[in-house]
Structure 1
């Protein structure tokens, strides 16, 4: 059976995908500053010109990976929301997912910290990252709005503010996990998420424990 010939656009997308995969491995091994365009191209089996045909710079290549990572995270949240039809189950599943992701993507968290320092000194890179964060906040706000629509009680924070808070907790805990390792409390993210999204249930639990 003959293989279907790819169109020019399909070949372009395939090459871009391979470059991104190679870049992810190279950045993970050498860090953002240690990974050069030459090394990324060598790892992928392409010329340096092939990289510049798709990305203007190493920074743009990293930002493409960052966008991919952030969108994957949001997609997972949407998937969990579709699978879990109650806020309580959603929170439990998210807590489990965060703990798993934190263990598996520690190298990526370290890269984020390294790139953060670079972005703070480059206004154009910082702005591009900001745009991606704002998009993630908007998508997460939509998820929160849908999840809380059938729940009783109101939060003092808007869905947008809740999204900012949740993303801040995720990133902060990822950083502390790199530094402090197992000293960080287990299941803290799930507990924090419950306090943020279901504050009334936390009060009920506290009250019942005091009565006993």
Structure 2
């Protein structure tokens, strides 16, 4: 009996294109990478690329959107199993990052893609949408862990989330520039140091 051939789903195709694009971007640069090179790296035709994305810009936006969506899922899953802030931070420290999406594994590529999108004013709303999603995630984590810790409500969870993400992006950049004086756990250590400040009650 012959084996049935199953066609890859759109999600499977997109995942292969994301992985291939990440490799091509790292080798050739985002500006220099062609759609043909990305499709070939994924083992697809040019037509297969265009059946999923209208342009390289659309692919990049989709990669950023997928990165944020995966980050939200991972963090909410951790939060369901590690209810206090201390436990949650410990779990983040031991997370297997090899299983993350290409942008989670490569902070440099992640930042390059953000800058690539931000250079065109018409693309910035897409970035802003994802930034707001990340801020909401962090604000929800702050409120949930404080409640589980039995502590008072934070003064302004949304502002705390903005500070936390700015710290994360800043330490990511510092580690790329000077890894010798910026340990891999710098961001999480900083959050741990701010643990007390996060719990200040509203006035």
Equivalence map 1:144-155=2 (5 Å)? 144-154=142-152
State the secondary structure of the residue aligned to 1:182: coil
Structure 1 residue 97: deviation in Å? 4.0
5+ residue gaps in structure 1? 202-212
Equivalence map 1:80-119=2 (5 Å)? 80-97=78-95, 108-119=106-117
User: C-alpha root-mean-square deviation of aligned residues, in Å?
Assistant: 3.1
Structure 1 residue 143: deviation in Å? 2.2
Q: Which moved more, 1:126-135 or 1:70-79?
A: 70-79
Distance 1:156 1:138, change over 3 A: closer
Q: Distance in 2 between matches of 1:188 and 1:100?
A: 19
Equivalence map 1:37-116=2 (5 Å)? 37-97=35-95, 108-116=106-114
Distance 1:115 1:15, change over 3 A: closer
Equivalence map 1:1-212=2 (5 Å)? 3=3, 6=6, 11-97=9-95, 108-154=106-152, 157-185=155-183, 187-199=185-197
User: TM-score by structure 2 length?
Assistant: 0.80
Q: Distance in 2 between matches of 1:12 and 1:194?
A: 40
Larger radius of gyration: 1
Higher helix share: 1
Structure 1 residue 39: deviation in Å? 0.4
Distance 1:185 1:93, change over 3 A: same
